[in-house]
Structure 1
Amino acid sequence: MTSSGGLTNKLRPLVTFVLVLCLASVGVSRAENIDADETDSFCYPESARNSRRSCECSNVSASPWGTRALRIDCSYKDYRITDISAQLPLYTDTLDLSWNALDKTPVFASDSLHQLNLMHNNITHLTSGNFKQLTSLRELYLGWNSITQVDAGAFDGLPHLQTLDLAHNNIHSLPGQLFAQLVVLSTLDLSWNRRFNETGVDLYKGMGVNWKLATLRLDACSLTEILLPADAPLRELSLRRNLLPRMPSQLPKTLLRLDISDNLLEHLLPEDTKNLTQVRQLFLEDMPVLGSVAAHALVSTEMLETLSFQNSRHLTHFDGDAFGSSLDVKNKRRALQTLSFRGTMLRSFNSTLSPVFGQLAELDLNGLPLQCDCELVWLKNIPIQTNGRCYRPNRIRGMLVSAARADAFSCDTWPRWAYGLVVLSLIALSAAGIYLIVMGLRPHRGVTMRRKVGTGSPYARITIEPNRQENPH
């Protein structure tokens, strides 16, 4: 009896484990059946079954542990709000409803949805608490709509949201502390809201942007000025196509990437870049009035790796000391690897830039009207291909700088005005010589030309008389 009782006690945990596995398998099978029904009802509703208006649903393994995830693509289906079920299938990870005809945001309920794409619809109003049942949402894309009104609390209930895209809308007024609930927001895009400048609200203090924000995009917002906290840990800032007449005087010191292209800067000065000590990438492309880069304008950007002036059509002067004096440039190696002047109007570069250009991995001079003379011959010694072509002199026009012979890079010993003066002098001397020759061949005023006129002269008078024989009377 004792032995049989001990055996029973040993087998009891094993039996219990087997029963638990059986019950779990039954529960899983039931859950899978329920989930399959939910997926079919959402992805393939009766109204759209066996048609092109049904969604595309696929099961994938999501990170980090390879758990099950459902990705639903309902883009380009011309859906309206009445065509969509509010209850999402179990395990839904991403939902794409872009390029439809939604006039307002659908109210979904899901604790697994991580990404929601509502771009390219007709949404005009974001109501309070619209997304509060999507507690696991990390990415929300609302760009390319017609949003004009955003209620306070529109983004409440999203404690895990990291990316918010509100670009290409008609937003001109935002309620205070709108983003205060987004405690882990890292990327915010408000680009192409052309009346956004009218708000006049501080993004951090007024709208509650958290200090974990790493990327901020404010392209084409009609900004004439912007002040951001110097101690904000922002890494990337895009201010393309605004109305900024100068580089913002107050920017976060932690910036690694700054894009201020297509603004109204006329000159790049040292005070414009004095706070950009940590910037790795700087873009001043498509600048409509930028004409020059002054001496020492780029001295503070020692960490800079990429610099682009591409398509700044009025840029005609790049100072030879833009990166500092020649002595400092020679004794200090910079981090700069990529430099682009493509599409500018620069004609030449001072040889003091040789140490900087010689350290580059990429230098783009494509499209520049280069004056290939003795002052630019040093550019042939750059160990990389620049794609720069000579525009002057005419004898080597169109040739690559690297392909032209060094002796073709010659400078005139006299200035151009001297050549013009010599030509004018020769013309004047020639005219004077011709005048003297003509005057020398003309007769003197005291000389009178007389011709003897008589019977033997060819100028004698001739009288014609009629023939008497023909007229005897």
Structure 2
Amino acid sequence: MLVHILLLAFIAQVKTTSICDRKSCVCWVKNVQNEDYQGENVQCSYVEKDILKGDYELPDIVNSLDLASNKIETVHSSHLLDSTTLIELLLNDNAITKVDVNSFQLPELKRLDLSNNQLELIDEEVFSNMRKLEYLNLANNRFTTFTKMNFHHLSSLNDIVLDNNNIGPSLKDSNLFDRSGSGLTNKIKSLSISGINLNTVPDNFFVDAYDISSLIISNNNITSVFEIPFTLKHLDLSDNPIKEISAEDFTDLIALQELNLDNLLIKEIPDYIFEHLPSLRKLTLERNNNLANFSKLAFGREVLDDPAEFKLESLSLKGSRLTRLDEALAVPLGELTELDLQGNPWRCDCDFVWVKTLQLSDQYTQHLRCDKPTTLFNAKIFDLKEKYFTCESRNRGFEIAIVVICATLGFVAIWVFLCLPTRKTGCGLFKNMYGPSTAYSILPMAASFHNDVDR
């Protein structure tokens, strides 16, 4: 009898073993200021494939559980997914194809990461016990239609990542913010839909996203700028085949602070395009291989003389095809705290020497180099002395003009010297040089005419 009692006690002890007792897991206390909670963080990534099948329990008070990279294929009920204190759960980089209903008994969960798995469908009841969830990452799965991702119960969700799921084509017929309950609620503040194979953004696409402040819609097939929500603070349009942008595309975006326009097909930054973005702080225009012209009036005319209202702090034009910038931009660009002009084929002549007056940190001058003229190819602009920034064609033209003027003046002086009334004989030299004068050619004709009359 005693043996049976000891055996049962041992079994009970095994079943209630804390996950923190495993040598392969790391547990530590999270100390975060301005938070109302404090508990252990459990890091159990790269542990074992069947970790959810083990009879391990979480600490009494736990904030975060990391189960990434364990080759988990199915998420099912487990002691590890049953907690009244867990706030963050990381299940990314597994091989999950299915999430069972009622797997998550996590009423306080706020952050869930299911990215980099093989999910094609999530039942709406999966989220029924996570009504406080604020952040959900489903990037890099195998969803092909938005209707297979039901968010009916996620009334608190405000940040969602759907990158690299082929759901773009299905959005032609279904609304991302479906009011029937399957779509996202109007509480969404941050949306990332990069690489979803989206070709066009329908009109009023974001009409129900009242509070959206961040939109990442990069790496799609969008060819023109769509109707942008006026509430945005951060917008990423990079890696789309957009060929043209204009000032009308960015009107009324008074809250926009960050704008990413990397790797588009645009050829120029036109006049006044950024003039009506009073809150803009960071602007990136990197890797625009067709970009050859940046208007001096891109930020408006007033900032060229008085940058008092110029709030931009960071600008990157790295890796484009610009060869020159107008010197008129020296005033506003001089106000920036970060300016990256590297990786452009700059023409280092007298029209570009003003760039050396900008106060750039070393990290932004290492690859700021000349492309033309050939004598300065690949030279570091900030290592060159100003005397090397010359305009050869302009100087040559000036020299030719001087020679022509001098020759003309010399000819006029000689003519004046020889043809003055006191120098008539000298002027005759010119007459002899160019043949008989008109007066002498007429005299014989006149004499002949009088002889005919006498007869």
Partners of 1:330 and 1:117 in 2: CA distance: 52
SS at match of 1:110: coil
1:181 is matched with: 153
2:319 is matched with: 343
**Residue 42 (structure 1) shift:** 4.2
> In structure 2, do the counterparts of structure 1 residues 392 and 39 end up closer, same or farther at CA, with 3 Å as the change threshold?
farther
1:381 is matched with: 357
Residue 191 of structure 2 is aligned to residue 216 of structure 1: yes
> In structure 2, do the counterparts of structure 1 residues 273 and 150 end up closer, same or farther at CA, with 3 Å as the change threshold?
same
Partners of 2:208 and 2:250 in 1: CA distance: 14
SS at match of 1:352: helix
CA contact (8 A) 2:116 2:140 kept: yes
Residue range with higher mean Cα deviation, 186-195 or 405-414: 405-414
Residue 172 of structure 2 is aligned to residue 172 of structure 1: no
CA contact (8 A) 1:266 1:292 kept: no
CA contact (8 A) 1:196 1:222 kept: yes
CA contact (8 A) 2:29 2:41 kept: yes
Q: TM-score, normalized by length of structure 1?
A: 0.71
SS at match of 2:387: helix
CA contact (8 A) 1:230 1:253 kept: no
Partners of 1:213 and 1:313 in 2: CA distance: 34
Q: TM-score, normalized by length of structure 2?
A: 0.74
**Residue 235 (structure 1) shift:** 1.7
CA contact (8 A) 1:74 1:98 kept: yes
Residue 268 of structure 2 is aligned to residue 292 of structure 1: yes
In the alignment, structure 1 segments of 5+ residues that lack a partner are 1-34, 420-473
Correspondence 1:265-344 to 2 at 5 A: 265-287=242-264, 289-325=265-301, 327=302, 329-332=304-307, 333-344=309-320
In the alignment, structure 2 segments of 5+ residues that lack a partner are 1-11, 401-455
- Which of 237, 250, 258 is equivalent to 1:260? 237
> In structure 2, do the counterparts of structure 1 residues 59 and 396 end up closer, same or farther at CA, with 3 Å as the change threshold?
closer
Partners of 1:57 and 1:407 in 2: CA distance: 63
> In structure 2, do the counterparts of structure 1 residues 127 and 376 end up closer, same or farther at CA, with 3 Å as the change threshold?
same
**Residue 233 (structure 1) shift:** 1.3
**Residue 109 (structure 1) shift:** 2.2
Deviation readout 1:185-204 (Å, 9 max, x if unpaired): 22111111134432443222
CA contact (8 A) 2:151 2:183 kept: yes
Deviation readout 1:420-460 (Å, 9 max, x if unpaired): xxxxxxxxxxxxxxxxxxxxxxxxxxxxxxxxxxxxxxxxx
Residue 49 of structure 2 is aligned to residue 79 of structure 1: yes
**Residue 86 (structure 1) shift:** 7.7
2:164 is matched with: 192
User: Structure 1 counterpart of 2:69, which letter?
Assistant: W
Alignment length (residue pairs)? 373
Structure 1 vs Structure 2 CA RMSD: 3.0
> In structure 2, do the counterparts of structure 1 residues 286 and 320 end up closer, same or farther at CA, with 3 Å as the change threshold?
same
CA contact (8 A) 2:17 2:57 kept: no
Please state which structure has a larger fraction of its residues in helix: 2
2:62 is matched with: 92
Partners of 2:35 and 2:315 in 1: CA distance: 43
Partners of 1:401 and 1:63 in 2: CA distance: 46
Partners of 1:261 and 1:255 in 2: CA distance: 16
Partners of 2:169 and 2:27 in 1: CA distance: 41
Deviation readout 1:298-318 (Å, 9 max, x if unpaired): 222222111111122222121
- Which of 110, 119, 127 is equivalent to 1:147? 119
SS at match of 2:371: strand
Partners of 1:165 and 1:329 in 2: CA distance: 44
- Which of 96, 103, 109 is equivalent to 1:130? 103
- Which of 347, 369, 376 is equivalent to 1:396? 376
CA contact (8 A) 1:38 1:89 kept: no
Q: Percent identity?
A: 25
Deviation readout 1:292-342 (Å, 9 max, x if unpaired): 2122222222221111111222221212221223x4542453111111111
